[in-house]
């Protein structure tokens, strides 16, 4: 079973974000081993060191200048990664973004949109898209 790690700078303050994440964490347990790591907000340099310590396997950094991808494209990417690694790490930076060293270390820079999303919401969106990717891979009815 693939291990999916999500490294997030900052924590979820509101209960409704925690509840939404918990729902997708529960759903994802059927498809992967999920690890969620919350790191404290600090300077980009300090965050960089903490983020890089947590990175395992194939690394995907979420950043606005990254490659846009469809849900099907993400499903294909996760399937392809599973052929070469049993671990994948997604990185969500702080409100200041990600240090260039983290971006350069990433195997893929991924953009969900040119819009700016609150980091708490982005965690929910990422979890949902990972769940959707697994359902696409298995031809489940969740993805229409």
Q: Would you state the pLDDT for residue 114?
A: 86
Q: Would you state the pLDDT for residue 144?
A: 67
Is the pLDDT at 74 greater than 70? The verdict is yes
Q: Which CATH superfamily does the domain covering 3-137 fall into?
A: SPOUT methyltransferase, trefoil knot domain (3.40.1280.10)
Long-range contacts of 49-53 (CB under 8 A, 24+ apart): 51/7, 51/9, 51/91, 51/93, 51/98, 51/99, 51/102, 52/101, 52/102, 52/105
103 pLDDT band, cuts 50/70/90, is: very high
Q: What is the pTM of this model?
A: 0.95
Instruction: Say how far apart CA 93 and CA 78 lie, in whole Å.
Output: 21
Q: Would you state the pLDDT for residue 142?
A: 84
pLDDT single digits (tens) 5-62:
999 999 998 999 999 999 999 999 999 999 999 999 999 999 999 999 999 999 999 9
Averaged pLDDT, 109-118: 90
Averaged pLDDT, 122-143: 94
Q: Would you state the pLDDT for residue 95?
A: 85
Query: Among positive and negative, which fits the CA dihedral 7, 106, 51, 62?
Result: negative
Q: Would you state the pLDDT for residue 143?
A: 66
């Amino acid at each position: 079973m693939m291990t999916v790690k999500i490294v997030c700078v900052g924590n979820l303050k509101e209960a409704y974000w925690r509840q939404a994440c918990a729902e997708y964490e529960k759903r994802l347990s059927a498809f992967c081993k999920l690890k969620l790591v919350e790191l404290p907000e600090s300077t980009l340099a300090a965050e960089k060191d903490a983020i890089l310590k947590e990175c395992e396997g194939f690394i995907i950094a979420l950043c606005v200048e990254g490659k846009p991808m469809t849900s099907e494209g993400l499903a294909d990417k996760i399937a392809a990664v599973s052929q070469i690694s049993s671990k994948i790490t997604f990185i969500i930076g702080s409100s200041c973004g990600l240090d260039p060293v983290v971006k350069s270390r990433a195997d893929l820079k991924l953009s969900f949109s040119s819009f700016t999303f609150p980091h708490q919401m982005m965690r929910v969106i990422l979890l949902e898209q990972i769940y959707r990717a697994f359902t696409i891979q298995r031809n489940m009815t969740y993805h229409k």
